[in-house]
Structure 1
């Protein structure tokens, strides 16, 4: 009898062990295999949260099949206490193991709210936007100017959240003075700027910053980026260009940047100016004259007067030969590359064509016809 009982007990223990092993194997498979998530989601981990709360949130959003297995797996991997605050993008079909790694890895948030301080040629603006996980594109929630009396509630609600990211975006063609003024409006940064950096030496781009970053350090980062771009373009430059130094090429790039906002035109505009320099012709470009008036400190806000076009200044390319002494703005990488590798073109003139682009001409007679067309377009617009 006792032998029978012992045998049956041993059988039950073996069956239980097999069942336990099967359960453990099933749990491991659930933890490491692809998950049920059908579309990417953004998971926000608040400061002080725990793996239990995160697992429940993930289960509610359909990212994990079992919040219990998720917690057990995180504990088994010794990551249950390594949760990082932030907003994290969880891709479609991510396994529990992958999600645990995402929310414990640390570093910058990969989704959620982003505040962008945009420093443009005509204005400084602030944009609050959210990443749409389904499209991996940002969607604007509110935009305003820092000079507004009261910032919108949408901005105030997210400004001090620990998972909010910050970015400073420079438009191509902004001046160094405009950049410094814009950085002073970035209220999450610290430090004063003792002097405006040299014109043209700051790279227009989008820069991620964190609360407390120094403005001077960011300017140094911008300057280093522009130096790298210029050096790379200079090394790959075309032959027989009318520039003796990279600085002269940067001057040309800034003129190209201010003359056209149409990306496809940059190489042609650069070709016109290179052709004029090679023929000993004056550049005769309005943006340089304007810079001589404003010194890059704001926008002129009106048309040029005939007296200004005749006045002799270092930047009046209707009067001086060759290039002005410095860049007139901070050009983007495309304009730098256009200045150093212009298109092969016979054009010597261009004028606005009414579409946002320009009409190019090889001869003065053809150019005068294009000018007449543009003036007719202007007159019609003024009458409407």
Structure 2
């Protein structure tokens, strides 16, 4: 009887060992197999997905075999959470083990959208609307409602987003990008405000942001930013109108078609700094860190005027007489290649 029990026990152990060996062999075989793909393919994984359905889907497509064994292998590896949502890049020659590793690490395809210094908020919304992979939630949502959703009710959206390149994956929303850009702007502004120069005419960081947006629109020449900031600081200090064209253009809105007339300069708007004193009520564009830094570290000097040379740079003058002379030289006798902003960089 004892001998029979021993034989039964040993037989059972042998069966378990053989079954384990078979399982190990099958796992290795199905994991080593290459995906049967003729070209690169993007596999979209919705939120909450598990490998079960995806493996069966790939097996039905003929991309792999042994979906049952692969599901078992996935469970034996201790994976119990749903997969990271997003898109997974599948390539010819990739084996199944590499696919499962992508799933376990959440190695999803990254998309990018770039928000550019100097853009206004309408341009930001338009850029996000063109991103097909983003989940579009804003639609007809008003600017004020959008800011409320970002937790900033009663805050004007202009200038509240930091220009940069933002990565995202399929399934993220346009509001997610704006939330990242808004948080980044608040962080950068706070960092720069904490290191500001003394004796600035701003009551709070928001006023510095307004000034930074004007500087951003006035020049793209890096070494001029602090000098332009200095001009505007001195004008504010003596109660002189800022008289900066970008604010006029912003106040014109859709009426602006590429040219400012004398009537436009005289027409009152909340942003026309040829009419209103001090700063406009809000920023007029998105600003980079450099423009914020310039607004908070204006260059000392005596200049009160500047005029565009036509190559993107400016001539600075201390007196009205000097300024009028520069205007006659650089604007009233404009060359055919005159530019008020920097020339575009040549393509490679």
Pick the TM interval, shorter chain: 0.5 to 0.7
Summarize deviations over 1:329-384 as a string: whole Å, max 9, x none: 111111111101122232211111122111111111111111111125525558xx
Task: Say if 2:226 and 2:298, in contact at 8 Å, map to a contact too.
Answer: yes
TM-superposition CA deviations, 1:14-41 (whole Å, max 9, x none)? xxxxxxxxxxxxxxxxxxxxxxxxxxxx
**Aligned runs of 1:307-318 on 2, under 5 Å?**
307-318=263-274
Residues in 2 aligned to 1:209 and 1:169: alpha-carbon distance in whole angstroms? 11
User: How far apart in 2 are the matches of 1:105 and 1:312?
Assistant: 60
Q: Does 1:167 align with 2:112?
A: yes
- Is the contact between residue 277 and residue 283 of structure 1 (CA under 8 Å) also seen in structure 2? yes
Q: Could you tell me which residue of structure 1 aligns to residue 321 of structure 2?
A: 365
Instruction: Report the alpha carbon displacement of residue 53 of structure 1 after superposing the two structures with TM.
Output: 4.9
* 2:193 counterpart of 1:234: yes
- Cα-to-partner distance string for 1:175-222 (whole Å, 9 max, x where unaligned): 112111221111101132223241110111110011121111211111
Structure 2 gaps of 5+ residues are 1-29, 36-72, 80-86, 92-97, 148-156, 339-348
Question: Kindly tell me: are residues 215 and 103 of structure 1, through their superposed partners in 2, closer, same or farther at Cα, counting changes over 3 Å?
Answer: closer
- Separation (CA, whole Å) in 1 of partners of 2:122 and 2:210: 17
Query: d(CA) in 2 for partners of 1:365 and 1:231?
Result: 40
1:201 alignment partner, one of 156, 160, 174: 160
Distance 1:183 1:243 in 2: 33
Instruction: Return the structure number with greater relative CO, CA threshold 8 A, min gap 6.
Output: 2
Distance 1:270 1:108, change over 3 A: farther
SS for the counterpart of 1:378 is: coil
Name the CA distance, whole Å, in 1 between partners of 2:224 and 2:90: 41
Structure 1 residue 332 and structure 2 residue 288: aligned? yes
Distance in 1, matches of 2:262 and 2:89, equals 58
SS of the equivalent of 1:207 reads: strand
Q: State the distance in 1 between where 2:219 and 2:264 align.
A: 22
Flag the structure with higher strand content.
Answer: 1
State how far apart, in whole Å, the 1-side matches of 2:163 and 2:31 are: 41
Q: Does residue 186 of the first structure (1) align with residue 131 of the second (2)?
A: yes
How many residues of Structure 1 are paired with residues of Structure 2 in the alignment?
243
In structure 1, which of residues 255, 265, 274 is the aligned counterpart of residue 224 of structure 2? 265
The CA distance in 1 between the partners of 2:229 and 2:321, in whole Å, is 21
Q: Which residue in 2 is equivalent to 1:280?
A: 239
How far does residue 107 in structure 1 lie from its aligned partner after superposition? Answer: 4.6
CA contact (8 A) 1:233 1:336 kept: yes
Residue 220, structure 1, aligned to residue 179, structure 2? yes
2:330 match:
374
Q: Does 1:349 align with 2:310?
A: no
Q: Say if 1:301 and 1:107 are closer, same or farther in 2 by CA, change over 3 A.
A: farther
Asked whether the equivalents of residues 354 and 377 of structure 1 are also in contact (C-alpha less than 8 Å), the reply is: no
Corresponding residue number in structure 2 for 1:125: none
User: Retained in 1: the 8 A contact 2:218–2:246?
Assistant: yes
**CA contact under 8 A between 2:309 and 2:315: conserved in structure 1?**
yes
Q: Check whether the contact 1:289–1:308 (CA below 8 A) recurs between aligned residues.
A: yes
**Given the two structures, how large is their TM-score scaled by the length of structure 1?**
0.57
Normalising by structure 2, report the TM-score.
0.63
